Structure 1
Amino acid sequence: MFLRLILMLLIVGGIIGGVYYMKMQQWEAMSEMAEQGQPPATIASTTVTEESWQPRLNSVGSMVAVNDVSVTNEVPGIVEEIQFESGQRVEKGDVLLQIDDNVDRAQLEGLKADLQLAQVQFDRAAKLVKERTVSQSEFDEAKARLESARANLASSKAEMVKKSIRAPFSGIIGIRQIDLGQYLAAGSEIAPLQSLDPIYVDYTLPERHLSDLSVGQTIDLNVQAYPGQTFSGRIEALNPGIDPGTRSIHIRGVLDNPDGTLRPGMFAEIRTLLSEQNDILTLPQQAITYAPYGDSVFVIEEQDGQKVVQRRQVKTGAVRNGRVEILEGLELGDEVASAGQNKLRNGQPVQINNDIEVNDKDAVSSP
């Protein structure tokens, strides 16, 4: 019995000793790996470069027609003739619509006859008053009838002219709102008419930029209907006052629009160009790590013949065409990691390979 107990103790002791030996071997291997350090991370790099940028003030606004009216009739009547097609271009003075004027023409003939009679009576009275055959008062009455007949004829002609609806300016006429034979009350909407060349764009900027703005200043804009296409124009006018509700200034730009590409009501992204600035330090946008506590980059340095990275806080500015303006924290020629930043730590060795695309699933983009 006693021998069996000693045998069991020896077996248990041997197992415990074997496990302890294996653990010791693992610990020694881990210590050797720690002393050797992590293998260098493969990253892509870029350098801080110097560029010339033209600063710009960004805003949004809407396209506005230079002239925009709804064509209406001044006098009532029945539509006798429609002389335009929806969507066509019309010139100033073109007849768009003819209202029935048969009654007016008949009245006009009667007024012409009245004028002729009044003219004859006046001529006779003028001759007789010289011979003292009629009194001066009879001559004055004949003269008054003549003037009244002339006025009535002119009024009738003016009324007839109003029944020919003409384009008040050149432009594109929209979809007609009336039909042939329809009775139109005075002021009925016939069709919209807009002048498209040139065309305005209205937008606002904060009042702090007032000193940077002037009439004739260049503007660029994009519209969603034509992605990738840029349209250029200039500032036409600035409102003299600041809006007290928004503390912004209302700006009107003007652009040439010979093809009618831009249309009133379009949403526009507008850039007001300022004076060109030189010596701007920039980096690709993907080289910046954005965080709530500040933006940073991993600067690549040489230590004991080995490339290592160190995180450095930077102050960024404008973003343009995938590049970011560096205001503080870096100098011209500094080399930084352009991909793989989120797997790096301070002092970590790296190896540069700009010929391959580094897989950086955690890359942080600009907010």
Structure 2
Amino acid sequence: MFKRLILVLLFLALVFGGIGYWKYRQFQQMTAQLTAPRPPATIASVEAKRESWQPTLRSVGSLVAANGIAVTNEVAGIVQEITFESGQRVEEGAVLLRFEDSVERATLESLRADRQLAQAQYKRAAELIPKQAVSKSEFDIAKATFDAAQARVAEQEAVIRKKTVRAPFSGLLGIRQVDTGEFLQVGTPIVELQALNPLYVDYALPERNFRELAVGQEVQLRMDAYPGEAFSGRVSAIDARVDEGTRSISVRATVPNPDGRLRPGMFAEVQTLLPQRDDVVSVPRTAISYNTYGDFAYVIAKGENDALTVQRRQVTTGRVREGWVEIMKGLDAGETVVRAGLVKLRDGQPVTIDNSVELKDAEVGKQ
């Protein structure tokens, strides 16, 4: 019985001793892995460069005609004649539409006859007043009657003139909205008229950019209708107030449009060009990462035996242009930074440079 107990205890000691030894070996291996030097990471590098930049303020806006209206009628009537075609270019004063005006013209002839009679009576009274053949009151009545008759004629002539609708300015007509023989109430839209040269582009910028704005600055426009093509203009007006709701300020630029390729209502991407800067330090946008503490870049430095390591450095970034980002603080021109291969890169890690390394999607954004 006693021998059996000793054998069991020896067996258990061997089992637990083996387990303990196995765990100890595992711990030693883990410790060795943790304390082993990190192998060099393969990265691609680029030098921060100093260059001239044309800073821009980006926004979106809409094209607006310098003059643009819906042509309407001032008097009611039946359309007698339409003298334009949809989409036609017209000059200022061109006749667009005439109303039937026979009744108004007949009334005008009657009023002219009344005026002629009143004029004759006034002239006769004027000849007789020096001879005291008529009283002063009779002369005044004759004069007032003639003046009233003349005013009624002028009024009727104005009514007849309004029976002809003319283009108030030169421009391009839209689609005709009325037909011959149709009765139009006062203010009925007849056709759109847009002056196309020049055009305005209206857009808004945040109030923080207000001090950078000035009348006369160049703007560049890009439209979906003309991919890859830019149109130039200049800032012509800056609003007198900042919108309290959006904290933005409205800006208007004038855009030449001599060939009429641009049309009011088009959507435009607008860049306001600021004065050129000649001392901008920049790196590729892919070289910048961020965490909760802000933007940072990995700067490549030489260590012992010319071994390359990386140092994480906080940077302050500015504007972005064509894939490059402005470095306002934290890097100097000529310093070499990591542009690709940032995944799992750590401060102080050894690296080897291979500029054929391409950026992986996982490297963009938060590190």
TM-score (norm 1): 0.81
Alpha-carbon RMSD: 4.0
2:229 aligned with 1:234: no
In the alignment, the residues of structure 1 paired with residue 34 and residue 136 of structure 2 have an alpha-carbon distance, to the nearest angstrom, of 132
Q: Give 1:320's aligned residue.
A: 321
Kindly provide the CA deviation profile for residues 289-334 of structure 1, in whole angstroms up to 9, marking residues without a partner as x.
2334322222222223322323322221111111001122222111
Aligned-residue offset at 1:260: 3.1
1:88-107 aligned at under 5 Å gives the runs 88-107=88-107
In the alignment, the residues of structure 1 paired with residue 100 and residue 44 of structure 2 have an alpha-carbon distance, to the nearest angstrom, of 80
Change over 3 Å in CA distance of 1:29–1:144 after alignment to 2: closer
1:25-44 aligned at under 5 Å gives the runs 40-44=40-44
Change over 3 Å in CA distance of 1:131–1:41 after alignment to 2: same
Change over 3 Å in CA distance of 1:269–1:186 after alignment to 2: same
Aligned-residue offset at 1:252: 2.4
Supply the AA of the counterpart residue of 1:318: R
Supply the AA of the counterpart residue of 1:253: A
1:223-302 aligned at under 5 Å gives the runs 223-302=223-302
CA contact (8 A) 1:129 1:139 kept: yes
In the alignment, the residues of structure 2 paired with residue 332 and residue 252 of structure 1 have an alpha-carbon distance, to the nearest angstrom, of 38
In the alignment, the residues of structure 2 paired with residue 149 and residue 38 of structure 1 have an alpha-carbon distance, to the nearest angstrom, of 108
Q: Give 1:308's aligned residue.
A: 309
The range that moved more, 218-227 or 274-283, is 218-227
Change over 3 Å in CA distance of 1:124–1:312 after alignment to 2: closer
Supply the AA of the counterpart residue of 1:76: A
Q: Give 1:65's aligned residue.
A: 65
The range that moved more, 191-200 or 234-243, is 234-243
1:14-29 aligned at under 5 Å gives the runs none
Aligned-residue offset at 1:189: 1.6
In the alignment, the residues of structure 1 paired with residue 25 and residue 244 of structure 2 have an alpha-carbon distance, to the nearest angstrom, of 78
In the alignment, the residues of structure 1 paired with residue 27 and residue 240 of structure 2 have an alpha-carbon distance, to the nearest angstrom, of 79
SS at match of 1:342: coil
SS at match of 2:155: helix
In the alignment, the residues of structure 1 paired with residue 242 and residue 297 of structure 2 have an alpha-carbon distance, to the nearest angstrom, of 41
SS at match of 2:293: coil
CA contact (8 A) 1:222 1:270 kept: yes
1:47-126 aligned at under 5 Å gives the runs 47-126=47-126
Q: Give 1:168's aligned residue.
A: 168
Supply the AA of the counterpart residue of 1:338: R
Supply the AA of the counterpart residue of 1:273: L
The range that moved more, 129-138 or 39-48, is 129-138
In the alignment, the residues of structure 2 paired with residue 147 and residue 273 of structure 1 have an alpha-carbon distance, to the nearest angstrom, of 63
2:355 aligned with 1:354: yes
Change over 3 Å in CA distance of 1:40–1:212 after alignment to 2: closer
CA contact (8 A) 2:56 2:274 kept: yes
In the alignment, the residues of structure 2 paired with residue 133 and residue 27 of structure 1 have an alpha-carbon distance, to the nearest angstrom, of 140
Q: Give 1:9's aligned residue.
A: none
Supply the AA of the counterpart residue of 1:324: V
Structure 1: 5+ residue stretches without partners: 1-21
In the alignment, the residues of structure 2 paired with residue 164 and residue 288 of structure 1 have an alpha-carbon distance, to the nearest angstrom, of 68
The range that moved more, 219-228 or 28-37, is 28-37
Structure 2: 5+ residue stretches without partners: 1-21
Identity of counterpart residues, as a percentage? 53
* Number of positions where the alignment pairs a residue of Structure 1 with one of Structure 2: 366
